[in-house]
Structure 1
Amino acid sequence: MSTGNVADMVTELREQIESGALQADEKLPSTRVLMETYGLSNNAVYRAVGLLKAQGYAYGMQGKGVFVRGRRALIAGSRRIKGITHPGEHIEWRYSRRTEAPDWVAEHLGAGECVERARTVRRDDVIYEASRSWVRLDVVTVVPELDEPAPCTPTWQAVYTERSANEVRSISSAAYARIATDDDREALNLDGELHAVLFTRTVYATGDDVIGVGEAVNAPGQPLDLEA
Structure 2
Amino acid sequence: MAGTVAGMAAYLKARIDGGTLEPGNKLPPTRFLMHQFDLSDNAVYRAIALLKAEGYVYSHQGKGVFVADRRKLISGAERIQGITQVGETIHHKRSVRVQAPEWVAAHLGEGECVNRVRTVNRGELVLQASQSWVHLDVAEVVPEIDEPRPCNPTWQAVYAERSGNSVEVASKTVDARITTAEDREELNLDDDFAVLVMRSIYVTGNKVIGVGEGVYAPGHPLSIS
TM-score (norm: length of structure 1): 0.62
Q: For residues 135 and 223 of structure 1, do their structure 2 counterparts lie closer, same or farther at Cα, with a shift above 3 Å needed? A: closer
Partner of 2:205: 207
Number of the residue aligned with 2:135: 136
Cα 1:206–1:83, aligned 2, differ >3 Å: closer, same or farther?
farther
Question: In the TM superposition, what is the alpha-carbon distance from 1:156 to its structure 2 partner?
Answer: 0.9
Distance in 2 (CA, whole Å) between partners of 1:213 and 1:162 is 19
Distance 1:84 1:198 in 2: 15
Give, as a single letter, the amino acid of the residue that structure 1 aligns with 2:219.
G
Figure out how many residues of one structure are paired with residues of the other and give that number: 163
Structure 2 partner of 1:195:
193
Aligned-residue identity in percent: 54
Q: Aligned residue for 1:5?
A: 23
Coordinate RMSD, CA, aligned:
2.9
**SS at 1:91's partner residue?**
strand
1:124 Cα deviation from its structure 2 partner: 3.2
Say yes or no: does 1:216 pair with 2:210: no
Give, in whole Å, the separation in 2 of the partners of 1:5 and 1:48. 5
Answer yes or no: is the 8 Å Cα contact 1:81–1:158 preserved in 2.
no
Provide the C-alpha distance between the structure 2 equivalents of 1:83 and 1:134, rounded to a whole number of angstroms: 20
Partners of 1:148 and 1:136 in 2: CA distance: 15
- Match in the other structure for 2:94: 95
User: Quick one: distance in 2 between partners of 1:6 and 1:124?
Assistant: 41
Where does residue 112 of structure 2 map in the other structure?
A: 113
Aligned to 1:169: 168
Normalised to the residue count of structure 2, the TM-score between the two structures is: 0.63
The reply to whether residue 181 of structure 1 matches residue 196 of structure 2 is: no
* 1:115-152 alpha-carbon deviations (Å, 9 max, x no partner): 11100011233211101111110111110111123222
Kept after mapping to 1: 8 A contact 2:170/2:202: yes
* Equivalent residue, structure 1, for 2:15: none
Q: Which 10-residue stretch deviates more, 83-92 or 118-127? A: 83-92
Structure 1: runs of 5 or more not aligned: 8-46, 56-75
Secondary structure of 2:115's counterpart equals strand
- Structure 2 unaligned spans of 5+: 1-18, 26-67
Which shows bigger deviation, 148-157 or 211-220? 148-157
For residues 21-47 of structure 1, what are the alpha-carbon distances to aligned partners after superposition, in whole Å with 9 as ceiling and x for unaligned?
xxxxxxxxxxxxxxxxxxxxxxxxxx8
The residue type equivalent to 1:80 in the other structure is R
